[in-house]
Amino acid sequence: MATSTTWATWTSTLCDSTASSDTWHSWISDSTSTSTHDKFPSGTTWHSWASTDTYAILPGNVIEFEPTILTHKQIQANLRTDNQTHINRIWIQMEKEEAEAIAHDLLEDLLDDNQLEIYKNTGRVLVKGRKHDYIVRRHGTTIKRVGKNKVQDLCCHLSYPYKNQLPPTDDTIAKILAIKYDEEHFNKLANHHHIRNLNELPDAAKAA
Amino acid sequence: MGQMNILSTKGDSKQIWDPSKAAEVDVAEGVFNKLVNKKNYKAYHVGARGKKSNVMKKFDPDAEKMILVPPIIGG
């Protein structure tokens, strides 16, 4: 049997020619249930293992299982499924990109050219409310509310089941509209988190 | 012509109506009421470049453009 030949070659060359051969001999003579070579007493176990479907051997316990043999049709079916999964993934990505482009068209109706340019470059938009200014990001749920000397993190997002289902720019549009035209309500519903004084910010942020 | 942009997974879907045609207005009003009153969407009446805008509680067939947004919650 081919596997026996390989095994014999391995044990007679690799193990015998290295310093680890002593360890090997010690191991197989102590735990005889795992050895297979003819010159070792457990050779029978090896032949049994190589000629049957036994793949896992534990001390004193042999676990046997039936190997799964796929027919040609099953292999073809699996390949078709893999290909379809790949196509579906590409298709979903294309749909997401298309949806984001549509959302961006709608955003253009709400922002001026300067705001749009900043949004394209940074993924952020400065929204001027009646009481405060806000920095809304394309990704993430945190909005920075900029007051006279303070910056506060507000957290809000689309409710379930809409959260993370709409394109990121639609999420931005929802927040911009809420701030611009319903600022008081927006400040009530958003969770208020960390507040920092402007003098705690890095110099670059203060200059900006 | 009136236009309603409803934010969706596809970006947004559009509902367009002619204010002079009652049937079209009825359909648009039905969509508006279903989303705003039953699904808690917010409706914003937006003018050109975001001017003359406000929150709408009732459907206005003469509003040129509205954006309907799913509800926002604190995170």
**pLDDT at position A49:** 54
Quote the domain boundaries for residue A198.
105-207
Contact (CB<8Å) B71/A158: yes
Write out chain A residues lying below 8 Å of B75, CB-based. 141, 155-157, 190-191
What was the pLDDT predicted at B42? 94
Residues A193, A121 share a domain: yes
* Beta bridge mates, B44: B55, B67
A133 shares a domain with A59: no
Domain count, chain A: 2
- Give the rounded percent of residues in chain B with a pLDDT score beyond 70: 93
Region B13-31: what's the mean pLDDT?
A: 94
* Domain membership flag for residue A170: yes
**Domain closes at, from A64, A91, A113:** A64
Residue in chain A lying closest to B44 (CA): A177
Q: What does pLDDT average to over chain A?
A: 77
Q: Which residue has the tokens 């900043």?
A: A118
> Domain for residue A186, yes or no?
yes
Q: How many CB atoms lie within 10 A of CB A39?
A: 11
Residues A132 and A185 in one domain: yes
Buried b (16+ CB within 10 A) or exposed e, A122-152: eeebebebeebebebbbeebbbbbbeeeebb
Cα separation of A14 and B72, whole Å? 68
Measured distance CA(A163)–CA(A18) in Å, rounded = 62
Query: What per-residue confidence (pLDDT) applies to A105?
Result: 93
Phi and psi (nearest 5°) for A182? -150, 50
A60 and A112 co-located in one domain? no
- B53 pLDDT band (50/70/90 cuts)? confident
Among A43, A64, A85, give the residue marking a domain's end.
Answer: A64
Residue A81 belongs to some domain of the structure: no
Decide if pLDDT at A187 tops 60.
yes
Q: Which residues of A touch B (CB under 8 A)?
A: 95, 98-103, 105-106, 109-112, 141, 155-159, 162, 165-167, 170, 173-175, 177-178, 180-182, 186, 189-191
Assess whether pLDDT exceeds 60 at residue A160.
yes
The answer to whether the beta carbons of residues A7 and A37 sit under 8 Å apart is: yes
Look up residue A152 and give its DSSP letter: E
According to the model, what pLDDT value does residue A42 have?
54
Tell me, yes or no, if the pTM score tops 0.90.
no
